[in-house]
Structures are given as C-alpha cells and as structure tokens.
Amino acid sequence: MEFDIVIVGAGPAGSTVARKVAAAGFSVLIVDKRQELGSPIQCSGAVSRHALLENGVEPDTEFIHEPIYGFKIMNGLGGEKEIDYRKLKPNVYGTQEGANPLGYVVDRRRFDRYLLTQAERAGAKAWLKAEAIGYEQAGDDVIISIKHYNKIERVKTEIIIGADGLRSQVGKWAGIKTHIKLKELASCLQFVVDGVETNGLLELITGSQTAPGGYGWVFPKGNGYAEIGLGIIAPYTNVNAQVHLDRFIKNSFLSHRFKNARLLEVQGGGVPLASPLKKQFARNIILVGDAARHVNPITGGGIHTALSGGTVAAEFLIKHLPSGDDNSEKNLAEYQDNWLEAFGNQMWKLYDVKKKIFKEKDITIQDKKLFETMGNYFSPNSDYKKI
C-alpha cells in the first residue's frame, strides 16, 4: 500500500492537512487510534469564527454548541474587565441581521468528525481504530506500521505528518525532543454542568488563589449548560487540579453562581503553556498542531493554531510533493520557516510575554500582570489576534 502522505492523528491539525492536500489531488491516508474522534473530550471547545473561516471551515450547527460574543476577565479580588463585542462593534457582532458571533464553543466530538468528513469528501482515505506504531526508512521514502484492528499494516509514503497531539510519539520516533517541562504543562480539569447561567461570554478567572500558574474558566456550553474548569501548573501548588476545582466551585467569589450546578461530564487534559518546538520536522517527518506545540502560551488555545498550522503544512506539501526534491531534513525545513512567518514568530513573542509574567517572584505582582495581559490579549486592539 502506498500514499503520498500518511497523517497520524485526525484532530483539527491532521484533518486540515488531509483535506487540503487531498483536494490538491495527492493520495492521503489519515489514521486515528480512536473509535470516536474527539472522545474522551480533552478540550473546552472555544474557537473564533475568524479561525474557522480563515482555514476554510464553515461554521455549522452540526458542531456548534453556542455562539460567543466576547470575554470577561476576573481576578477574584474585584478586578473585572468585560470585552463584549456586541457593545464594542454592534454592527459587526451580535444576533441581529448581518451581524455574526465572534466565535463559538464547539462540541469536539462533532467538530473533529466534521473536519474528517470534509477531508474524506476531498478524497483522503481514513482509518479509525488505527494506531501508528513506528516507521522505517525505505530509500527516500518510509514505511509506517499501523496497528488496525489488531492487524499490522505497512504503508509506504513520502512523508509522515505527526498530528498526534499532546502525547505525540511521532516526534519521538524521529529523535525530536517533544516532552514538556512540568512547569510549562497546565494540568486541567473541567466539569460540564447544568444550572449555571452564562451570557455569551467566555469568562476567565486569573489569580493564584484560583489556579496557580494558569487560570479558571466558565464557558457557555449550549442548551443552558456551562463548563467550569481550571488549569494549574503543578510546581506552583501542593494540591492537584481536582482539589483546586473543588475549591473554586464550593469556596470562591463565584461559588454563589455554582450552588445549583448539576454535574453532567468530567473532562481534563494537559495544555502546554510552552514555546513551540524549536524543530518541528525531521527527514520524512513534519509535526503539526499540539504535536509541534502550536499552542497559544498565554491562553492555552490550540484549535486555531492547529487549523492554521495544518494549512501551512498543507500549502508546503502541495509545493514540495511534485517538486522532485528528496524528503531530507534540509528540504522539509521550509515548512517551519513558513510557519514561523505565518504566525510562529508571534507565538514566540507571546511565549516571552508569558515567561516574563512567571519570572516575577512576587505573587501579587505576578497575578496582576497575568490579569492585565489577559485583558489586553482579548481587547480589540490586541497585537495577537491572529493566534
């Protein structure tokens, strides 16, 4: 069996590469070890409308839980900054005719399935229950081994796309150091609940009292549901995310809003608040999305960056595959250069901003800086809108 490219992982990053490269006429195999994409959910699902449209994804009721119109950042000490685009730009954002939401909270199960559907409709072949387990060199190509319903399939390909998320093994296969420092991985836990009111805003709660090293959140989840969660940095606290979330719900300045919360789902995950990988490629290998740590180091958002990283990778491949150039590391380096130019350099800048905040030893000043940075980040004049 032979494909021009094999993509490991059908999350937002992998399915974007698959859709775009298949649409350009190349043969694409995308594999995912899960039986239901996006499940178990390890994401809150907030994504801007702009991020979807920019990457050729039409907002669709199939995956939208609830439209979003802005942000409210709180620090638990009385500090509040509301950035409601319905008020700031009423002609552009809102529910009225001609206006649109700023973004959405999506259902990752449906969103990931939708993205794969689009990839398959563009001509990509997809296997689920298919775990990539390693590869070997075969001249200028590679042979990737995929465990598919207990059978080992060996597939020849020019390039493997490692879109295998936070726990990426593809990068490790190629000798790329992918593991994340403990102080740069937020340990996150969230509950989907009934009985908590929201009003179309993403609410973010900063402060070491709530979430040391990270932040808490209350997101609208559609059908009157909400999502209450937080991410902490383990070395900044001596208790786990579960204890912090319990305190946040039962004993915080927002507890009065949570007193009727009825639990519906428990979800969690790790969010790299880290720099992008310094090297996101190797011979025959390209990493994209969480696997390359394409994650916003301030907000932890990774859907937009996964989609956009997927687009950059696809555009590179569409040029590279028919070029006759071999698949050496040297020839794949351009992918990362393109990515840096498109938005990677901005991510590095954001990482520096984040590092400066957490270098501050005085916790009160650190908390104040994070609150201000979050507020500025989501404001209409933000330098970082693209990511």
Partner 1 sequence: MKKPVIFDIGWNACINCGACIAVCPQPAGFVSDFDTIAVNTPCEIACMKCEDICPVSTISHLVVAAQENPHK
Contacting residues toward ligand FAD, per CB under 6 A: 8-14, 31-34, 37, 42-47, 131-132, 163-166, 169, 188, 190, 268-271, 289-291, 295, 300-304, 306
Per-residue binding string, partner 1, 167-186, x by CB under 8 A, is x-x--xx-----xxxx--x-
Which CB sits closer to partner 1, 240 or 260? 240
| Residue 241 binding target from partner 1, ligand FAD, none, CB below 5 to 8 Å by type | partner 1
Is residue 143 a contact residue for partner 1 (CB under 8 A)?
no
Q: Is 203 helix (H, G, I), strand (E, B) or coil?
A: strand
With tokens 């709530």, the residue in question is: 210
Q: Give CA torsion, residues 156, 22, 347, 110, to 10 deg.
A: -110
Is residue 42 a contact residue for partner 1 (CB under 8 A)?
yes
- Rounded to a whole number of angstroms, the minimum distance from the CB of residue 185 to partner 1 is 5
Which CB sits closer to ligand FAD, 45 or 67? 45
Nearest in space to 205 (alpha carbons), one of 216, 190, 191:
216
Rounded-to-integer distance, Cα 268 and Cα 19, Å: 28
- Rounded to a whole number of angstroms, the minimum distance from the CB of residue 77 to partner 1 is 25
- The alpha carbon dihedral of 131, 241, 257, 81 has a sign of negative
Going from the C-alpha of 8 to that of each of 30, 164, 178, 271, the distances in angstroms are: 6, 6, 16, 20
| Residue 153 binding target from partner 1, ligand FAD, none, CB below 5 to 8 Å by type | none
Is residue 10 a contact residue for partner 1 (CB under 8 A)?
no
Asked if omega into 40 is within 30° of 0 (cis), the reply is: yes
What residues between 227 and 266 interact with partner 1 by CB under 8 A?
234-235, 240-242, 266
Is residue 380 a contact residue for partner 1 (CB under 8 A)?
no
Contact predicate 176/158, CB 8 Å = no
Is residue 152 a contact residue for partner 1 (CB under 8 A)?
no
Is residue 314 a contact residue for partner 1 (CB under 8 A)?
no
Listing DSSP states for 265-330 in one string gives EEEEEEEE-SPPPS--EETTEEE-GGGGT---TTT---HHHHHHHHHHHHHHHHHHGGG-----HH
Judged by the rule CB under 8 A, the positions of this chain that interact with partner 1 are: 40, 42, 134, 165-167, 169, 172-173, 179-182, 185, 187-189, 234-235, 240-242, 266-270, 272
